[in-house]
Amino acid sequence: MTAEASTESVLRLMADKPREQTAFMSLIAGLRTVGLEADLLGSPERQEGLYGHAPPIPIDAEVAINGVAGFVDHTVVPAPQEDPRRVATQDVVAHELIGRLQDLAAEAPGGGLWVSISASPWLGAKKKDRERLYDRVVEMARKAVERRKPFVDLKKLPQKPFPVPTIGFCEAPEDHRVTIAFDDLTLGWSGRFGSDGQWSCTIGEMRNSVGRAIEGKLKKQLARVRAVEADKPIGLLLDSRPMHGAKGKPEPVFDLPPLVLRHMLFEIAEDWPGVLSKAWLISPQGLSAVYGDPDAFDW
C-alpha cells in the first residue's frame, strides 16, 4: 500500500467522527504545505490487531512525518463557561490601557506597570463614561510613577460592587512594559504591544478552565500511551475551529491565540515530563506549532 493510499484508508476509518477526520486531513495537508512528508499510518484505537496492544492504546492516529512515526491524539480546545460580553470588554479595556500606559510605564520603577482592575465599570458603559474611566486609571498611574510608590485610590473610585483598581510596579522588558490583570470573578485577559508594534493578548486563570481538559489528556490518556510506547513521539492535535455538532448547534470551542496556548502547554507539560513531544493547533487561521520548537512543524 502506498503512503497516500494508507492516509486515505485511515481517514475512511475516522468517518465515525467527522471533526476528528477533518482535523487530521488539515494536519496532513498543513504539514505537506510547509514542505514535510506526512502520512497517516493507522489508528491504534480502531485497529487493535494492527498494533498488538490489548486493550487498544487510547490514541487516534499514527502519523509519519519525514519518515519518523509517532502517535497523535485529537482534542477540541474547550470553551470555558464565561460571559462573552465580559470577555470582549476585558480584551478592549486591556488593549486601550496598554496603549495609553506604554510611555508612562517606561518611567516607572523597574520599567513596568502592573494594573489590577475590574472590567465591570466598562461593561455596557457609554463612550464618554468609558473615556472617563480610562483617564482615571491613567491619572492614577501617573501619580504612582511620580510618587515612586504603588497607588490605590480609595476615595474617587466606587467601592462596591466594583473592585478598586491598583497600580503597581514590576521589572519588565521593553516589549512588555504594561500588564493588565482583571480581578473580576472571571477569566482574566491581559495583553501587550510587542517591539514590532503588534498587539497580542494573554489570558489568566486558563489552567483552571481550558487547561484542565488538556492536562487531563496528558496525565491520564497520553501517559498510558507513553507507558507502553516509551520511545515514540507523542503529539496532541488541538482543534479550535468553529463547527456545528450533530444537532446543528455550534460546538463550544475556544479560539485561543497560539501564543497563549503555547505558554499554557509548556506550563502543563512541565508537570508531566516526558509525555508530550509535540502539539499543533488547527484554528480558523490554519496550522500552528504550539509545543516543541515553535518554528518547526515536525517532531
- The tens digit of pLDDT for each residue in 214-253 reads 888 998 899 999 999 999 999 999 988 876 555 554 555 5
- Ranges of beta strands (E only) in the chain are 38-42, 61-65, 68-76, 111-117, 151-152, 166-171, 178-182, 188-193, 199-204, 234-239, 278-283, 286-291
Largest CA distance in the chain: 76
CB neighbourhood size of 226 (10 A): 20
Local confidence band at 188 (pLDDT 50, 70, 90 cut-offs) = very low
**Gap between the Cα atoms of 84 and 187, Å rounded:** 10
- Helix-helix angle 84-106:127-147, to 10 degrees: 40
What pLDDT, on the 0 to 100 scale, is given for residue 251?
53
Looking at the chain, the whole-number percentage of residues with pLDDT higher than 90 is 40
**Gap between the Cα atoms of 81 and 212, Å rounded:** 13
Least confident piece of the model among 109-118, 145-154, 219-228, 254-263:
254-263
- Kindly tell me if the per-residue pLDDT of 175 is higher than 90: no
**Gap between the Cα atoms of 243 and 59, Å rounded:** 22
Higher pLDDT, 258 or 141: 141
Tell me the pLDDT of the chain averaged across its residues.
81
- Kindly tell me if the per-residue pLDDT of 164 is higher than 80: no
Local confidence band at 92 (pLDDT 50, 70, 90 cut-offs) = confident
**Whether 282 contacts 238, CB under 8 Å:** yes
**Gap between the Cα atoms of 192 and 30, Å rounded:** 29
- Kindly tell me if the per-residue pLDDT of 197 is higher than 70: no
Highest mean pLDDT (candidates 165-179, 189-203, 221-235, 251-265):
221-235
The angle subtended at Cα 154 by Cα 149 and Cα 156, nearest 5°, is 110
**Whether 138 contacts 131, CB under 8 Å:** no
> Grid coordinates in use for 145?
510613577
As a dihedral over the C-alpha atoms of residue 164, residue 169, residue 172, residue 178, rounded to 10 degrees, the angle is: 30
What pLDDT, on the 0 to 100 scale, is given for residue 187?
46
**Whether 198 contacts 140, CB under 8 Å:** no
**Whether 36 contacts 65, CB under 8 Å:** yes
**Gap between the Cα atoms of 60 and 181, Å rounded:** 38
Higher pLDDT, 84 or 180: 180
Local confidence band at 56 (pLDDT 50, 70, 90 cut-offs) = confident
pLDDT (average), residues 244-268: 68
Closest to 169 measured CA to CA, from 114, 241, 106, 101: 114
Local confidence band at 273 (pLDDT 50, 70, 90 cut-offs) = very high
Local confidence band at 161 (pLDDT 50, 70, 90 cut-offs) = very low
Parallel, antiparallel or unpaired: strands 68-76 and 234-239: parallel
Residue 218 CA to chain centroid, in angstroms?
Answer: 16
Highest mean pLDDT (candidates 36-40, 149-153, 200-204):
36-40
Higher pLDDT, 7 or 83: 7
What Rg, from alpha-carbon coordinates, does the chain have?
23
- Helix-helix angle 3-13:18-33, to 10 degrees: 160
Least confident piece of the model among 75-84, 108-117, 171-180:
75-84
- Kindly tell me if the per-residue pLDDT of 156 is higher than 80: no
Least confident piece of the model among 25-29, 92-96, 250-254:
250-254
What pLDDT, on the 0 to 100 scale, is given for residue 263?
79
pLDDT (average), residues 63-81: 87
Higher pLDDT, 222 or 80: 222
Least confident piece of the model among 98-107, 200-209, 211-220, 257-266:
200-209
Ranges of each domain in the chain: 3-80+209-291, 84-204
